[in-house]
Amino acid sequence: MESTSRPTRAYLSFIAVALAFFVVPGIVGAALSGSTATVTMLVLLPVMALALGMLDGRLFRYTLSFPLIAAFMFWLSTEMYYNTGTWIYAVEIVLLAWLGSWLTGRKA
């Protein structure tokens, strides 16, 4: 029977999602003008969600918990960086992170 607990290196995906949703928007917002930063984040959000899901699937296994945690972290970041209506992108984060995890993860 396979262990369901995460090995230490599998927690790197949580560090990566925190950086992606709390640090990257701040850097993009500081480096670019308002409209350019908005378009950049609209492109980066789905790319980061898919890539982070793939990373978690590779480091740990296929799971739904990581996409839900990633969406929660994004939702928290909306309070810091985005307009109030952008919380809806959390649905996109869940779906793309789940897809990435499904594509690369070991099936339990």
Q: Please report whether residue 1 resides in a domain.
A: no
Q: Could you report the average pLDDT of every consecutive run of 10 residues in the chain (108 residues)?
A: 66 89 93 92 93 90 89 90 86 94 81
Q: Exposure of 31 by Cβ count < 10 A (0-12 exposed, 13-18 middle, 19+ buried)?
A: exposed
What domain range includes position 62?
A: 10-104
Task: Let me know if residue 69 belongs to a domain.
Answer: yes
Do the domain assignments include residue 37? yes
Residue 4 counted as domain residue: no
* Domain presence at residue 23: yes
Question: How many angstroms separate the CA atoms of 74 and 53, rounded?
Answer: 14
Question: In this structure, is the dihedral angle defined by the CA atoms of residues 46, 47, 51 and 52, taken in order, positive or negative?
Answer: negative
What's residue 103's pLDDT? 92
- Asked if residue 3 belongs to a domain, the reply is no
Question: Whole-angstrom distance between the N-terminal and C-terminal Cα of the chain?
Answer: 10
pLDDT at 1: 47
Shortest CA distance to 46 belongs to which of 66, 27, 74?
Answer: 74
Has residue 32 been placed in a domain? yes
Residue 5 domain flag: no
- Count of structural domains, the chain: 1
